[in-house]
Amino acid sequence: MNRKKNCRKPASVTVACSGKCENTCFYYAPNYSQRLFDTGATRDTDIDKLDFRGFFSPIVLQRFAQYMHEHRLQSDGTMRASDNWKKTYGKTHYDVCLSSLLRHVIDLWLIHEGFSRRAKETLEDALCAILFNTMAYLFKVLTDQYDIKKEDLPGKDIIL
């Protein structure tokens, strides 16, 4: 790990600065049980915690939400709820998701190979649709695997 400028290592700490943050320097205590910040603050270690900030990108999530919002308007003119997809598609859910996923993958592939005029959608829409179908497929896998009832999902503390 590289030591950052302006970081003051506490005398009791022998581990170098983690360098994870732009504005805050912290060190792992010798036993890795906590993080010690140059301000004197302490926090539990983050070693076994999911790093959502690192795993996801806000611009990707924002674009995906825009895509999802654009597709809420139904053919009859009504607006479906943003979480309507969590109701799944019954016994054909996996087939519906896979068929749609593959249509969008073909568009992505066409665009990637230089045949964008043959694609039915833009690159961003294809990528968002792939993400949606993958998420919908995985959602059903997880809810089936853990026997989670749909009515238990909103606001409940379910840990998978």
* Residue 62 pLDDT greater than 90, yes or no: yes
Q: Report residue 56's pLDDT band, with 50, 70 and 90 as the boundaries.
A: very high
pLDDT tens-digit map of 84-106: 999 999 999 999 999 999 999 99
Q: Is pTM, for the whole model, over 0.85? A: no
What are the start-end ranges of the E strands in 3-144? 26-28, 34-37, 42-44
| Residue 109 token pair | 């592939």
Q: In the predicted model, what is the mean pLDDT of residues 134-158?
A: 76
- The pLDDT score that the predictor gives to residue 13 is 46
Tell me how far CA of residue 51 lies from CA of 47, 96, 123, 138, 145, in angstroms: 9, 32, 28, 20, 24
> How far from the centroid of its chain's Cα atoms is residue 49's Cα?
15
User: What radius of gyration do the chain's Cα atoms show?
Assistant: 23
| Nearest one of 24, 67, 68, 60 to 43, comparing CA atoms | 24
Residue 37 to residue 28: CA distance in whole angstroms: 9
Q: Report residue 66's pLDDT band, with 50, 70 and 90 as the boundaries.
A: very high
Q: Report residue 15's pLDDT band, with 50, 70 and 90 as the boundaries.
A: very low
Of all residues in the chain, the percent with pLDDT exceeding 90 is 58
| Residue 134 token pair | 């993958």
More confident site: 23 or 69: 69
Q: In the predicted model, what is the mean pLDDT of residues 79-88?
A: 95
